[in-house]
Chain A
Amino acid sequence: MNLFEQIGYLFSNYDVVGSFWVNIQLTFWAAIGAMILGTVLALMRVSPAPSLQWAGLTYVTLVRNTPLTIIITMGVLGVWGQLQITFADNFDLNFFIFACIGLAVYHAAFVCEALRSGVNTVPLGQAEAARAIGLPFLTAARLVIFPQAFRGAVAPLGNTLIALIKNSTVAAVGSVATETSSVMRTMIEFNGNMVVLIFMIFAVGYVILVVPVGVVTTTLSRKLAVAR
């Protein structure tokens, strides 16, 4: 078989595009979850209440230092296997949801840190002005600080998103058998003579996925930066 026949053979026998689609879906849902949880955590960390600050800091310290692999393994073997918590009757969907939650829980810590670095880009005067017109903490955060913080945090948030796209492969550890690294594993196991080609297909796929996200977030971070 020449190179093109090999590529044709691999694409017609395995659902390569579909496996990337699974990773994109994992990334999409996990990104939404991480964004919501991360924003709440960031709010907690800059809030005036010590108990909330402490809870936020503890979460970030614990989660950031735990390997994602352990978090996802714990979801499947611990929460599902031992605590018998299920999210869906369908086996595949259940593991998919577990993987999304694991990814969201892990990346929320990084979203929180990104937003905090965004808060740091907002000049002191903004917060003082918000205080001067009598806005309480939550209103000041909602109307003055966080809108600017989000714009200042585009670059680190983009990096977190790129990390999330790549880390979505770890869902394989959580028994999501239709995503890229599991599919690649099956493909290599059955076609040992095409290892390099199979690896290159998936590697190039990720380059194609990741590079535009980097370009877009870099451009956005320049465009959205608040001129000061």
Chain B
Amino acid sequence: MSAQVLFDAPGPKGRRNMVIVNIVGAIVVIGIAVLVLIRFGQTGQLEADRWTSMFTANAWMNFLIPGLRNTLIAAALSIVFSMLFGIVFGLGRLTTIAPLRWISGIVVEFFRAVPVLIMMVAFWLGFGYAQTFDPNTVPLVAVVLALTLYNGSVIAELVRSGVFGLPKGQREAAAAIGMTHSKSLRLVELPQALIAMLPSLVSQFVVILKDSALGSWVTYNELLFMSRLYGSGNGNMLQALIVAALIFILLNWMLTKLADYVAKRLSSRTAAPVHAPDADVQEEIEEKAKA
């Protein structure tokens, strides 16, 4: 249902009311902004150098850009590994070999239920204690592994729902030309499912990028960590955090736009319905696939 049917095309009275609501709405929004600014002024947050110091070469070359680079490294590694994990366990849940199916099911359900931060902290301290890796790379390993296990499980579910979403005829056609179940999965169903789930996949990358900021708590020097470092050194923590947040928002917003674009472009490339659902809520499609 489009939201537009909730109200009529406004007549003269309606248009007048709309102007009033618009003005009131604008006053409320501006009022909140003014209150925030007054508070900023009282606590000295509006002093120019607190803001200008965010736009110096020192801030960017020594803190924000190295931090951003580390964020992107962690996110890129996690994206690649969670794709692999997701395809392996997604197919594992679809195979005809029952024990493999059960193990994949347990693995996926388990890692989907455990909070990412719990995994990250456990890997960080666990690997640190076991001394399996160079101490400098332990935080990165913990971040990538935790993000991979969680998001990989979500992607495995996406693979499963993508294959479920395909019309039955695809499987029947594969069987008709003599393909085995696993061959039909690999050659016919998975490629189409991957295309159909691409938009949801890109939305999941937004989750990975966002959650990489958790790395700051396990001493991985990503963007949030570095901007906190800069903010505490220069006495402009609030401004440093705002800039870091804006960088994250910009990156994720571009990824979201990419997901929408991909969804539009791909709808003709597969027999399955193509969705670009909201990140974090994509289990919804799975429900539909089951029903």
Contacts and interface: CB of A to CB of B under 8 A. Distances in A.
A18 interface: no
Nearest to B110: A207
Contacts of B130: 195
A147 interface: no
Contacts of B116: 166
A167 B115 contact: yes
B122 A70 contact: no
A189 interface: yes
Given A55-B25, A169-B115, A181 B121 contact: yes
B260 interface: no
Given A113-B278, A159-B281, A159-B284, A65 B256 contact: yes
A207 B114 contact: yes
Given A69-B213, A70-B245, A207-B110, A49 B115 contact: no
B29 A189 contact: no
A119 to B, nearest CB: 7
Contact of A66 (B6, B40, B118, B249): B249
A142 to B, nearest CB: 12
Which residue among A69, A78, A119 has the maximum number of chain B CB atoms within 10 Å of its CB? A69
B126 interface: yes
Interface residues of B, number: 65
Q: Is the interface of B mostly helix, strand, loop or mixed?
A: helix
Contact of B118 (A73, A110, A113, A181): A181
Q: Is the interface of A mostly helix, strand, loop or mixed?
A: helix
Interface stretch (B88-96, B171-179, B236-244): B236-244
Interface in B1-57: 1-3, 5-8, 10, 14, 18, 21-23, 25-26, 29, 39-40, 43, 45
Contact of B115 (A45, A185, A188, A206): A206
B287 A221 contact: yes
B11 to A, nearest CB: 12
Contacts of B7: 48, 131, 137
Contacts of B245: 66-67, 70-71, 74
A68 B93 CA distance: 31
B3 to A, nearest CB: 4
A119 B118 contact: no
A67 B211 contact: yes
A140 interface: yes
Nearest to A74: B241
A203 interface: yes
23 contacts: A50-B22, A51-B25, A61-B253, A65-B251, A65-B252, A69-B214, A69-B217, A70-B244, A73-B241, A114-B281, A122-B1, A124-B2, A128-B5, A156-B281, A166-B113, A169-B115, A185-B121, A188-B122, A198-B122, A202-B122, A207-B109, A207-B110, A221-B287
Interface of A: 45-52, 55, 61-62, 64-71, 73-74, 77-78, 81-85, 110, 113-114, 117, 119-124, 126-128, 131, 137, 140-141, 145, 155-156, 159-160, 163, 166-167, 169-170, 172-173, 180-181, 184-185, 188-189, 192-193, 195-196, 198-199, 202-203, 206-207, 210-211, 218, 221
